[in-house]
Amino acid sequence: MTAPLRSTDPITVNVALGDRAYDIVIGRGLLASLGTRIAALRPGAAALIVSDENVARHHLASAQAALRNANVRAGEIVFAAGEQAKSWRTFETICEGILAARIERSDLVIAFGGGVVGDLAGFAAAVSRRGLDYVQVPTTLLAQVDSSVGGKTAINSRHGKNLVGAFHQPILVVADTALLDTLPAREFRAGYAELVKYGLLGDAAFFAWLEVNWRDLFAGGPAREHAIAVCCRAKAAIVARDEREIGDRALLNLGHTFGHAFEAACDFSERLLHGEAIALGMALAFEFSARRGLLPMTEADRVIRHLAAVGLPTHLKDIAGGVPGIDALMDLIAQDKKVKRGKLTFILARGIGAAFIAPEIDAAEVESFLAEKLGQ
Ligand SMILES: NC(=O)c1ccc[n+]([C@@H]2O[C@H](COP(=O)([O-])OP(=O)(O)OC[C@H]3O[C@@H](n4cnc5c(N)ncnc54)[C@H](O)[C@@H]3O)[C@@H](O)[C@H]2O)c1
Ligand SMILES: [Zn+2]
Protein backbone atom coordinates (compact mmCIF):
# COMPACT_ATOMS: atom_id res chain seq x y z
CA MET A 1 0.00 0.00 0.00
CA THR A 2 2.02 2.93 -1.28
CA ALA A 3 0.89 6.48 -0.71
CA PRO A 4 0.59 8.59 -3.83
CA LEU A 5 2.89 11.55 -4.30
CA ARG A 6 1.25 14.81 -3.30
CA SER A 7 -1.28 15.66 -5.89
CA THR A 8 -3.42 18.76 -6.10
CA ASP A 9 -6.38 16.66 -7.13
CA PRO A 10 -8.74 15.94 -4.28
CA ILE A 11 -9.67 12.34 -3.56
CA THR A 12 -13.39 11.59 -3.78
CA VAL A 13 -15.08 8.78 -1.87
CA ASN A 14 -18.76 8.10 -2.50
CA VAL A 15 -21.10 6.89 0.22
CA ALA A 16 -23.51 4.69 -1.73
CA LEU A 17 -26.87 5.18 -0.08
CA GLY A 18 -29.19 5.32 -3.08
CA ASP A 19 -30.99 8.64 -3.34
CA ARG A 20 -29.18 9.79 -0.20
CA ALA A 21 -25.71 9.03 -1.61
CA TYR A 22 -23.06 11.71 -1.17
CA ASP A 23 -19.40 12.44 -1.78
CA ILE A 24 -16.59 12.90 0.68
CA VAL A 25 -13.88 15.04 -0.89
CA ILE A 26 -10.46 14.97 0.73
CA GLY A 27 -7.53 17.24 -0.02
CA ARG A 28 -5.23 19.99 1.19
CA GLY A 29 -6.69 23.48 0.74
CA LEU A 30 -10.19 22.32 -0.20
CA LEU A 31 -11.91 24.91 2.00
CA ALA A 32 -11.38 27.48 -0.75
CA SER A 33 -13.69 25.45 -3.00
CA LEU A 34 -16.50 25.11 -0.45
CA GLY A 35 -18.68 27.80 -2.01
CA THR A 36 -18.41 26.54 -5.57
CA ARG A 37 -19.10 22.98 -4.45
CA ILE A 38 -22.21 24.08 -2.55
CA ALA A 39 -23.41 26.31 -5.38
CA ALA A 40 -23.02 23.41 -7.82
CA LEU A 41 -24.96 21.05 -5.57
CA ARG A 42 -27.73 23.44 -4.48
CA PRO A 43 -27.81 26.46 -6.82
CA GLY A 44 -29.13 29.56 -5.10
CA ALA A 45 -29.18 28.03 -1.60
CA ALA A 46 -28.34 30.16 1.43
CA ALA A 47 -26.34 28.63 4.27
CA LEU A 48 -25.75 28.88 7.98
CA ILE A 49 -22.30 27.99 9.31
CA VAL A 50 -22.34 26.33 12.74
CA SER A 51 -18.96 26.29 14.48
CA ASP A 52 -17.17 26.50 17.81
CA GLU A 53 -14.96 29.31 19.08
CA ASN A 54 -11.63 27.57 18.44
CA VAL A 55 -12.43 26.62 14.88
CA ALA A 56 -13.98 30.03 14.22
CA ARG A 57 -10.87 31.83 15.49
CA HIS A 58 -8.61 29.95 13.09
CA HIS A 59 -10.74 29.34 10.04
CA LEU A 60 -14.14 31.03 9.94
CA ALA A 61 -12.95 34.02 7.90
CA SER A 62 -11.59 31.67 5.20
CA ALA A 63 -14.82 29.69 5.13
CA GLN A 64 -16.89 32.86 4.80
CA ALA A 65 -14.61 34.14 2.02
CA ALA A 66 -14.96 30.86 0.12
CA LEU A 67 -18.76 31.12 0.30
CA ARG A 68 -18.80 34.80 -0.60
CA ASN A 69 -16.66 34.17 -3.68
CA ALA A 70 -19.32 31.79 -4.96
CA ASN A 71 -22.18 34.13 -3.99
CA VAL A 72 -23.46 31.80 -1.28
CA ARG A 73 -25.11 33.96 1.39
CA ALA A 74 -24.10 32.58 4.80
CA GLY A 75 -24.81 33.50 8.40
CA GLU A 76 -22.99 31.97 11.34
CA ILE A 77 -23.58 30.61 14.84
CA VAL A 78 -20.54 30.09 17.03
CA PHE A 79 -20.63 28.47 20.49
CA ALA A 80 -18.09 27.67 23.19
CA ALA A 81 -15.95 24.61 22.35
CA GLY A 82 -16.07 21.33 24.24
CA GLU A 83 -18.10 18.20 24.81
CA GLN A 84 -20.39 20.03 27.27
CA ALA A 85 -21.80 21.92 24.26
CA LYS A 86 -23.61 18.74 23.20
CA SER A 87 -26.44 19.84 25.48
CA TRP A 88 -30.14 20.64 25.11
CA ARG A 89 -29.29 24.29 25.69
CA THR A 90 -26.79 24.67 22.82
CA PHE A 91 -28.98 22.49 20.63
CA GLU A 92 -31.92 24.87 21.22
CA THR A 93 -29.71 27.88 20.46
CA ILE A 94 -28.70 26.34 17.13
CA CYS A 95 -32.26 25.37 16.14
CA GLU A 96 -33.54 28.84 17.01
CA GLY A 97 -30.57 30.35 15.16
CA ILE A 98 -31.42 28.37 12.05
CA LEU A 99 -34.97 29.72 12.13
CA ALA A 100 -33.87 33.27 12.96
CA ALA A 101 -31.53 33.19 9.95
CA ARG A 102 -34.54 32.18 7.81
CA ILE A 103 -32.89 29.02 6.57
CA GLU A 104 -35.59 27.37 4.44
CA ARG A 105 -36.06 23.82 3.21
CA SER A 106 -34.09 24.64 0.06
CA ASP A 107 -31.15 26.07 2.06
CA LEU A 108 -28.55 24.28 4.14
CA VAL A 109 -26.57 24.10 7.35
CA ILE A 110 -22.77 23.80 7.34
CA ALA A 111 -21.21 21.91 10.26
CA PHE A 112 -17.76 23.47 10.51
CA GLY A 113 -15.74 21.85 13.27
CA GLY A 114 -14.90 18.62 15.03
CA GLY A 115 -17.23 15.85 16.13
CA VAL A 116 -18.97 18.05 18.67
CA VAL A 117 -19.99 20.61 16.06
CA GLY A 118 -20.86 17.88 13.53
CA ASP A 119 -23.10 16.01 15.95
CA LEU A 120 -24.88 19.17 17.13
CA ALA A 121 -25.31 20.87 13.77
CA GLY A 122 -26.30 17.59 12.10
CA PHE A 123 -28.98 16.92 14.70
CA ALA A 124 -30.27 20.50 14.50
CA ALA A 125 -30.46 20.12 10.71
CA ALA A 126 -32.28 16.79 11.11
CA VAL A 127 -35.15 18.34 13.06
CA SER A 128 -35.31 22.03 12.15
CA ARG A 129 -38.16 22.62 9.70
CA ARG A 130 -38.59 18.81 9.85
CA GLY A 131 -35.27 18.23 8.16
CA LEU A 132 -32.74 20.42 6.37
CA ASP A 133 -29.80 19.43 4.21
CA TYR A 134 -26.37 19.90 5.73
CA VAL A 135 -22.76 19.78 4.68
CA GLN A 136 -19.99 18.49 6.93
CA VAL A 137 -16.71 20.38 6.93
CA PRO A 138 -14.76 18.39 9.52
CA THR A 139 -11.79 20.13 11.14
CA THR A 140 -10.38 17.43 13.44
CA LEU A 141 -8.68 14.21 12.39
CA LEU A 142 -11.34 12.26 14.28
CA ALA A 143 -14.12 14.08 12.44
CA GLN A 144 -12.43 13.62 9.03
CA VAL A 145 -12.20 9.84 9.38
CA ASP A 146 -15.18 9.09 11.56
CA SER A 147 -17.86 11.44 12.85
CA SER A 148 -18.51 13.45 9.66
CA VAL A 149 -19.30 10.29 7.70
CA GLY A 150 -22.28 8.03 8.24
CA GLY A 151 -25.05 10.32 9.44
CA LYS A 152 -25.08 9.66 13.17
CA THR A 153 -25.97 12.87 14.99
CA ALA A 154 -26.64 13.38 18.69
CA ILE A 155 -26.50 15.39 21.87
CA ASN A 156 -25.87 14.10 25.39
CA SER A 157 -28.57 13.53 28.03
CA ARG A 158 -28.20 13.37 31.79
CA HIS A 159 -28.62 9.63 31.22
CA GLY A 160 -25.52 9.38 29.07
CA LYS A 161 -23.64 10.33 25.95
CA ASN A 162 -25.25 10.52 22.50
CA LEU A 163 -28.62 9.30 23.77
CA VAL A 164 -30.76 11.85 21.93
CA GLY A 165 -30.20 12.08 18.22
CA ALA A 166 -31.08 10.99 14.73
CA PHE A 167 -29.64 9.32 11.67
CA HIS A 168 -29.35 12.13 9.16
CA GLN A 169 -26.88 11.88 6.29
CA PRO A 170 -25.06 15.00 5.05
CA ILE A 171 -25.27 15.87 1.34
CA LEU A 172 -21.51 16.48 1.08
CA VAL A 173 -18.39 16.14 3.24
CA VAL A 174 -15.45 18.46 2.51
CA ALA A 175 -12.33 17.35 4.40
CA ASP A 176 -9.58 19.95 4.04
CA THR A 177 -6.48 18.32 5.52
CA ALA A 178 -4.73 21.69 5.92
CA LEU A 179 -7.26 22.63 8.62
CA LEU A 180 -5.62 19.98 10.80
CA ASP A 181 -2.39 22.01 10.90
CA THR A 182 -3.88 24.18 13.67
CA LEU A 183 -5.23 21.26 15.70
CA PRO A 184 -3.47 20.82 19.07
CA ALA A 185 -0.98 17.91 18.88
CA ARG A 186 -2.81 15.95 21.57
CA GLU A 187 -6.12 16.18 19.67
CA PHE A 188 -4.41 15.07 16.46
CA ARG A 189 -2.85 12.09 18.20
CA ALA A 190 -6.17 11.10 19.77
CA GLY A 191 -7.84 11.22 16.35
CA TYR A 192 -5.08 9.01 15.00
CA ALA A 193 -6.34 6.18 17.22
CA GLU A 194 -9.46 6.02 15.05
CA LEU A 195 -7.30 5.61 11.92
CA VAL A 196 -5.47 2.73 13.54
CA LYS A 197 -8.90 1.27 14.32
CA TYR A 198 -9.69 0.87 10.59
CA GLY A 199 -6.46 -1.06 10.09
CA LEU A 200 -7.07 -3.25 13.09
CA LEU A 201 -10.68 -4.02 12.30
CA GLY A 202 -10.39 -4.96 8.64
CA ASP A 203 -7.24 -3.93 6.82
CA ALA A 204 -3.94 -5.47 7.95
CA ALA A 205 -2.05 -3.92 5.02
CA PHE A 206 -3.21 -0.45 6.10
CA PHE A 207 -2.04 -1.09 9.66
CA ALA A 208 1.39 -2.14 8.34
CA TRP A 209 1.44 0.96 6.14
CA LEU A 210 0.64 3.16 9.17
CA GLU A 211 3.50 1.58 11.12
CA VAL A 212 5.85 2.85 8.40
CA ASN A 213 4.19 6.14 7.39
CA TRP A 214 2.67 7.64 10.54
CA ARG A 215 5.35 10.30 10.90
CA ASP A 216 4.62 11.73 7.45
CA LEU A 217 0.92 11.73 8.27
CA PHE A 218 1.52 13.66 11.51
CA ALA A 219 3.84 16.10 9.70
CA GLY A 220 1.20 16.91 7.10
CA GLY A 221 2.82 15.04 4.21
CA PRO A 222 0.88 13.27 1.45
CA ALA A 223 0.41 10.23 3.70
CA ARG A 224 -2.27 12.29 5.48
CA GLU A 225 -4.72 12.54 2.57
CA HIS A 226 -4.06 8.94 1.58
CA ALA A 227 -4.73 7.61 5.09
CA ILE A 228 -7.89 9.70 5.54
CA ALA A 229 -9.18 8.43 2.19
CA VAL A 230 -8.50 4.80 3.15
CA CYS A 231 -10.49 5.28 6.37
CA CYS A 232 -13.36 7.10 4.65
CA ARG A 233 -13.58 4.32 2.04
CA ALA A 234 -13.75 1.73 4.81
CA LYS A 235 -16.40 3.65 6.74
CA ALA A 236 -18.39 4.42 3.58
CA ALA A 237 -18.49 0.72 2.70
CA ILE A 238 -19.65 -0.26 6.18
CA VAL A 239 -22.29 2.49 6.31
CA ALA A 240 -23.59 1.57 2.84
CA ARG A 241 -24.02 -2.03 4.04
CA ASP A 242 -25.48 -1.26 7.45
CA GLU A 243 -26.58 2.36 7.84
CA ARG A 244 -28.44 1.83 11.13
CA GLU A 245 -26.02 -0.49 12.91
CA ILE A 246 -28.15 -3.61 12.78
CA GLY A 247 -25.13 -5.69 11.77
CA ASP A 248 -21.49 -5.09 11.05
CA ARG A 249 -21.42 -1.30 11.51
CA ALA A 250 -20.84 -2.38 15.14
CA LEU A 251 -17.28 -3.36 14.09
CA LEU A 252 -16.54 0.37 14.24
CA ASN A 253 -16.94 0.01 18.01
CA LEU A 254 -13.62 -1.85 18.27
CA GLY A 255 -12.01 -0.63 21.49
CA HIS A 256 -15.12 1.35 22.42
CA THR A 257 -16.70 -0.88 25.09
CA PHE A 258 -13.58 -0.66 27.26
CA GLY A 259 -12.87 2.87 26.03
CA HIS A 260 -16.26 4.33 26.94
CA ALA A 261 -15.95 2.95 30.47
CA PHE A 262 -12.59 4.71 30.92
CA GLU A 263 -13.93 7.94 29.46
CA ALA A 264 -16.89 7.81 31.83
CA ALA A 265 -14.54 7.00 34.73
CA CYS A 266 -12.73 10.26 33.89
CA ASP A 267 -16.06 12.15 33.62
CA PHE A 268 -15.39 12.75 29.91
CA SER A 269 -12.82 15.31 30.98
CA GLU A 270 -9.49 16.45 29.55
CA ARG A 271 -7.85 13.70 31.60
CA LEU A 272 -8.63 11.24 28.83
CA LEU A 273 -9.68 12.26 25.30
CA HIS A 274 -12.01 9.97 23.36
CA GLY A 275 -9.30 8.74 20.99
CA GLU A 276 -6.93 8.11 23.90
CA ALA A 277 -9.60 5.98 25.58
CA ILE A 278 -10.10 4.09 22.31
CA ALA A 279 -6.36 3.45 21.95
CA LEU A 280 -6.35 1.93 25.40
CA GLY A 281 -9.56 0.04 24.65
CA MET A 282 -8.11 -1.42 21.43
CA ALA A 283 -4.90 -2.47 23.20
CA LEU A 284 -7.03 -4.27 25.81
CA ALA A 285 -9.37 -5.80 23.20
CA PHE A 286 -6.36 -7.32 21.41
CA GLU A 287 -4.81 -8.53 24.65
CA PHE A 288 -8.15 -10.01 25.73
CA SER A 289 -8.47 -11.72 22.33
CA ALA A 290 -4.97 -13.17 22.75
CA ARG A 291 -5.88 -14.47 26.22
CA ARG A 292 -8.82 -16.30 24.68
CA GLY A 293 -6.45 -17.95 22.22
CA LEU A 294 -7.82 -16.06 19.23
CA LEU A 295 -4.45 -14.69 18.19
CA PRO A 296 -0.82 -14.92 19.33
CA MET A 297 0.25 -12.50 22.08
CA THR A 298 2.99 -11.24 19.73
CA GLU A 299 0.20 -9.87 17.49
CA ALA A 300 -1.38 -7.98 20.43
CA ASP A 301 2.09 -6.73 21.39
CA ARG A 302 2.53 -5.35 17.86
CA VAL A 303 -0.68 -3.32 18.23
CA ILE A 304 0.38 -2.00 21.62
CA ARG A 305 3.85 -1.15 20.33
CA HIS A 306 2.49 1.01 17.50
CA LEU A 307 -0.03 2.87 19.68
CA ALA A 308 2.68 3.52 22.27
CA ALA A 309 5.14 4.66 19.57
CA VAL A 310 2.87 7.57 18.59
CA GLY A 311 2.35 8.45 22.25
CA LEU A 312 -1.12 6.99 22.86
CA PRO A 313 -2.00 5.30 26.15
CA THR A 314 -1.99 1.49 26.17
CA HIS A 315 -1.99 0.68 29.89
CA LEU A 316 -4.45 1.59 32.64
CA LYS A 317 -1.62 3.26 34.51
CA ASP A 318 -1.24 5.69 31.57
CA ILE A 319 -4.50 7.40 32.63
CA ALA A 320 -3.66 10.60 34.50
CA GLY A 321 -5.15 10.52 37.99
CA GLY A 322 -5.84 6.78 37.80
CA VAL A 323 -9.13 4.91 37.38
CA PRO A 324 -11.64 3.65 39.96
CA GLY A 325 -11.62 0.06 41.21
CA ILE A 326 -12.89 -3.00 39.39
CA ASP A 327 -16.49 -2.78 40.71
CA ALA A 328 -16.92 0.79 39.49
CA LEU A 329 -15.37 -0.08 36.13
CA MET A 330 -17.66 -3.08 35.66
CA ASP A 331 -20.67 -0.89 36.54
CA LEU A 332 -19.62 1.55 33.84
CA ILE A 333 -19.22 -1.27 31.31
CA ALA A 334 -22.63 -2.68 32.27
CA GLN A 335 -24.24 0.73 31.71
CA ASP A 336 -22.95 0.69 28.17
CA LYS A 337 -25.74 0.19 25.66
CA LYS A 338 -24.04 -2.88 24.20
CA VAL A 339 -24.94 -5.09 27.20
CA LYS A 340 -27.68 -7.71 26.93
CA ARG A 341 -28.78 -9.96 29.83
CA GLY A 342 -25.47 -10.09 31.67
CA LYS A 343 -23.60 -10.89 28.49
CA LEU A 344 -21.39 -8.29 26.91
CA THR A 345 -21.05 -7.63 23.23
CA PHE A 346 -17.40 -7.08 22.46
CA ILE A 347 -15.49 -6.53 19.27
CA LEU A 348 -12.67 -9.06 19.39
CA ALA A 349 -10.04 -10.01 16.81
CA ARG A 350 -8.58 -13.13 15.25
CA GLY A 351 -5.62 -11.05 14.18
CA ILE A 352 -4.72 -7.56 12.96
CA GLY A 353 -7.34 -6.71 10.31
CA ALA A 354 -9.67 -9.49 11.44
CA ALA A 355 -12.11 -8.09 14.00
CA PHE A 356 -15.50 -9.70 14.62
CA ILE A 357 -18.56 -9.12 16.77
CA ALA A 358 -18.60 -11.40 19.83
CA PRO A 359 -22.08 -11.02 21.38
CA GLU A 360 -21.88 -13.50 24.25
CA ILE A 361 -18.88 -12.60 26.34
CA ASP A 362 -19.22 -13.44 30.01
CA ALA A 363 -18.99 -10.39 32.25
CA ALA A 364 -17.06 -12.47 34.82
CA GLU A 365 -14.30 -13.19 32.31
CA VAL A 366 -13.98 -9.50 31.48
CA GLU A 367 -13.94 -8.69 35.17
CA SER A 368 -11.06 -11.01 35.99
CA PHE A 369 -9.09 -9.74 32.98
CA LEU A 370 -9.59 -6.10 33.99
CA ALA A 371 -8.89 -6.81 37.66
CA GLU A 372 -5.56 -8.29 36.66
CA LYS A 373 -4.78 -5.28 34.44
CA LEU A 374 -5.62 -2.91 37.31
CA GLY A 375 -3.08 -4.73 39.45
CA GLN A 376 -0.24 -4.32 36.94
N1 LIG B 1 -21.40 10.98 14.80
C2 LIG B 1 -20.48 10.04 14.86
O3 LIG B 1 -20.50 9.06 14.11
C4 LIG B 1 -19.36 10.21 15.83
C5 LIG B 1 -18.24 9.36 15.76
C6 LIG B 1 -17.20 9.57 16.64
C7 LIG B 1 -17.27 10.60 17.56
N8 LIG B 1 -18.36 11.39 17.62
C9 LIG B 1 -18.43 12.52 18.57
O10 LIG B 1 -17.41 13.43 18.24
C11 LIG B 1 -17.03 14.16 19.40
C12 LIG B 1 -15.52 14.25 19.46
O13 LIG B 1 -15.08 14.90 18.30
P14 LIG B 1 -13.65 15.61 18.23
O15 LIG B 1 -12.62 14.71 18.77
O16 LIG B 1 -13.52 16.14 16.86
O17 LIG B 1 -13.79 16.75 19.33
P18 LIG B 1 -14.17 18.31 19.28
O19 LIG B 1 -15.17 18.61 18.26
O20 LIG B 1 -14.47 18.68 20.69
O21 LIG B 1 -12.78 18.98 18.87
C22 LIG B 1 -11.66 18.85 19.72
C23 LIG B 1 -11.06 20.21 20.06
O24 LIG B 1 -10.35 20.71 18.93
C25 LIG B 1 -10.80 22.03 18.61
N26 LIG B 1 -10.64 22.14 17.16
C27 LIG B 1 -11.38 21.53 16.21
N28 LIG B 1 -10.85 21.75 14.99
C29 LIG B 1 -9.76 22.52 15.18
C30 LIG B 1 -8.79 23.06 14.30
N31 LIG B 1 -8.80 22.78 12.99
N32 LIG B 1 -7.82 23.82 14.83
C33 LIG B 1 -7.76 24.06 16.17
N34 LIG B 1 -8.63 23.55 17.05
C35 LIG B 1 -9.63 22.79 16.55
C36 LIG B 1 -12.20 22.08 19.12
O37 LIG B 1 -12.61 23.40 19.36
C38 LIG B 1 -12.09 21.28 20.41
O39 LIG B 1 -11.55 22.08 21.43
C40 LIG B 1 -17.65 13.44 20.58
O41 LIG B 1 -18.73 14.19 21.05
C42 LIG B 1 -18.15 12.12 19.99
O43 LIG B 1 -19.30 11.64 20.63
C44 LIG B 1 -19.39 11.22 16.77
ZN1 LIG C 1 -14.60 6.60 18.53
Separation between Cα atoms, residue 293 and residue 296, nearest integer Å: 7
Q: What is the pTM of this model?
A: 0.96
What share of the chain in percent tops pLDDT 70? Answer: 97
Q: What's the pLDDT tens digit per position in 302-348?
A: 999 999 999 999 999 999 888 889 999 998 888 765 566 778 889 99
Ligand 2 centroid vs 115 CA: distance in angstroms?
Answer: 10
Q: What's the whole-number mean pLDDT along residues 88-113?
A: 98
The answer to whether 130 is a known catalytic residue is yes
What digits encode the pLDDT tens for the residues 207-240? 999 999 999 999 999 999 999 999 999 999 999 9
List the end-to-end C-alpha distance of the chain, in Å, as a whole number: 37
| Nearest ligand (C-alpha, residue 146) | 1
Residue 204: which pLDDT band, with cuts at 50, 70 and 90? very high
Q: Which of 78, 83, 87, 140 to mutate to test the pocket of ligand 1 (most atoms within 8 A of CB)?
A: 140
User: Is 189 annotated in the active site?
Assistant: no
Give pLDDT, residue 334: 83
Ligand 1: residues whose CB is within 6 Å?
52, 54-55, 58, 81, 83, 86, 113-117, 119, 139-140, 142-143, 146-147, 150, 152, 162, 179, 182-183, 187, 274
Which has the closest alpha carbon to 77: 124, 127, 141?
A: 124
Pocket test for ligand 1, best of 116, 182, 273 (most atoms within 8 A of CB): 116
DSSP state of 191: H
197 is catalytic: no
For every residue of 203-258, which 3-state class applies, written as one string? CHHHHHHHHHHHHHHHHCCCHHHHHHHHHHHHHHHHHHHCCCCCCHHHHHHCCHHH
Span 39-96, pLDDT tens digits: 999 999 999 999 999 999 999 999 999 999 999 999 999 999 999 999 999 999 999 9
Alpha-carbon distance 324 to 368, whole Å? 15
* pLDDT score for 337: 54
Euclidean distance between CA atoms 374 and 318, whole angstroms: 11
Q: How far is the CA of 229 from the centre of ligand 1 (A)?
A: 19
Q: Is 211 annotated in the active site?
A: no
Residue 59 annotated as catalytic: no
Ligand nearest to C-alpha 190: 1
Question: In whole angstroms, how far apart are CA 174 and each of 119, 120, 343?
Answer: 16, 17, 40
Q: Could you say which of 197, 235, 306, 373 is catalytic?
A: 235
Distances from the Cα of 11 to the Cαs of 173, 222, 227, 300, in angstroms? 12, 12, 11, 33
Task: Note the ligand closest to the C-alpha atom of 58.
Answer: 1
Separation in Å, CA 110 to CA 14, 185, 212, 228, 339 = 19, 25, 35, 21, 35
- 237-266 tens-digit pLDDT: 999 999 998 888 999 999 999 999 999 999
168 is an active site residue: no
- DSSP category for residue 75: E
